[in-house]
């Protein structure tokens, strides 16, 4: 029997929305990772997200920490209120990719994850928000 190896590209989705409490700031919120970053524009918030994911993945790869799903980061869904923004969000031309260096990668593991951005004009309606 011949074993077949293949890599599956695992895209990460990010919703970008205006900060509720800081005028002129944007939040990038990872739907699959629940990682949250902030920037001066949607593009800047996504740059910060790419950097946060790269740092997280690099750290895990260097220490050979593999999550339960076999990835060098934990899949932890964002709150439902953030997922709800996807319905009215617009897919954005903002594209990013979290990439780690080959030398810090776990053998045969992916070294890059594309991020697809959706921009919302409103903030999530969290139950505890005033």
Phi and psi, residue 86, nearest 5°:
-60, -35
In a domain, 113, yes or no: yes
- For residue 18, give its domain range: 12-119
Those residues whose C-beta lies under 8 Å from the C-beta of residue 102, and which sit 6 or more positions away, are 111
Q: What is the CATH number of the domain that holds 24?
A: 3.30.160
Tell me, yes or no, whether 71 lies in a domain.
yes
Helix (H) or strand (E) holding 45: helix 42-62
12-18 and 112-119 strand pairing: parallel
- How many domains is the chain partitioned into structurally? 1
pLDDT tens for each residue of the chain, 130 residues long = 676 655 555 678 899 999 999 999 999 999 988 999 999 999 999 999 988 988 887 777 676 666 555 566 677 899 999 999 988 887 776 555 565 555 544 455 555 667 788 999 999 987 555 5
- pTM comes to 0.75
Tokens of 57: 């993945």
pLDDT confidence of residue 98: 60
């Amino acid at each position: 029997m011949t074993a077949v190896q293949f890599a599956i590209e695992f895209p990460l989705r990010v919703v970008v929305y205006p900060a509720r409490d800081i005028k002129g700031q944007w939040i990038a919120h990872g739907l699959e990772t629940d990682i949250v970053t902030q920037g001066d524009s949607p593009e800047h918030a996504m740059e910060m997200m790419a950097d946060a994911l790269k740092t997280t993945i690099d750290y895990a790869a260097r220490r050979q920490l593999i999550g339960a799903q076999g990835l060098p980061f934990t899949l932890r869904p964002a709150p439902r209120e953030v997922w709800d923004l996807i319905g009215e969000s617009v897919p954005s031309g903002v594209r990013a990719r979290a990439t780690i260096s080959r030398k810090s990668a776990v053998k045969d593991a992916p070294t890059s994850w594309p991020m697809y951005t959706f921009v919302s004009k409103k903030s999530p309606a969290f139950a505890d928000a005033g």
